[in-house]
Structure 1
Amino acid sequence: MSAQNQPDETQEASLAAKGRLVSIVIVSTMVLWLLSLWLGPKLGLPGRYAFLFDFAALAGLFWALMVSLQIRRARKAARGNE
C-alpha cells in the first residue's frame, strides 16, 4: 500500500517545494520593489527607472500567480483521481 502512495507523496512534496519557491519569489519581489522605490530618488535616478522596477515587479508577481495556478490545478487533479 505504501508503494501505491509513493507517487502521490513525491508529487505532493514537489508541489510543496513549488509553493515555497512561489512564496520566496513573492516576498523577495516585494522587498526589492519597495527598496528600489525608496532608494531610486536617493540615488537621483530618473523617473523612467521607476517604471522599469514596476514592470520587473509585475513580471515576478505574474510568474508567481501562474505557478500558483499550476499548483492548484495539480492538487485538484490529484484529488479527482482518488
Structure 2
Amino acid sequence: MPQNDQRDEHTARQARLVALVIAAVMVLWMVAQWLGGAMGWPARYVFLFDMLALAGFVWCLFVTWQIWRRRSGE
C-alpha cells in the first residue's frame, strides 16, 4: 500500500508541474507577443518565442501522456 501512495503522490506532483508549466508558458508567450509588437521586434525573434512556447507545450503533452499511460495501466 505505501508504494501505491508514493506513486500517486509522484503522479500528483507531475500533474501539478504540468499545470504550472502550461500556465507559465502561455503567460510568457502572450507577454513576448505583446512586447514584440510594442517594441517592433523583427519577426525572427517573435518566431523564436513561438518555437519556445511550442516546445513547452510538447513537453507538457508528453508528460501528460506518460501520466495517462501510468494511470490506465493500473
TM-score bracket for this pair, using the shorter chain length: over 0.9
* Runs ≥4 residues deviating over 4 A: none
1:44 Cα deviation from its structure 2 partner: 2.4
How much identity, in percent, do the aligned residues show? 43
One-letter code of the match for 1:52? L
TM-score, normalised with respect to structure 1? 0.86
Q: How does 1:55-66 map to 2 (within 5 A)?
A: 55-66=51-62
Aligned to 1:25: 21
* TM-score normalised over the length of structure 2: 0.95
Bigger Cα Rg:
1
Task: Specify every segment of 5 or more residues in structure 1 that has no aligned partner in the other structure, as ranges.
Answer: none
**Structure 1 equivalent of residue 69 of structure 2:** 73
Q: What is the total number of aligned residue pairs between the two structures?
A: 74
Instruction: For 1:77, give the aligned amino acid.
Output: G
Note the residue ranges of structure 2 that are not aligned, 5 or more in a row.
Answer: none
2:34 matches 1:38:
yes
Alpha-carbon separation, structure 2, partners of 1:62 and 1:40: 23
Superposed CA RMSD:
0.7
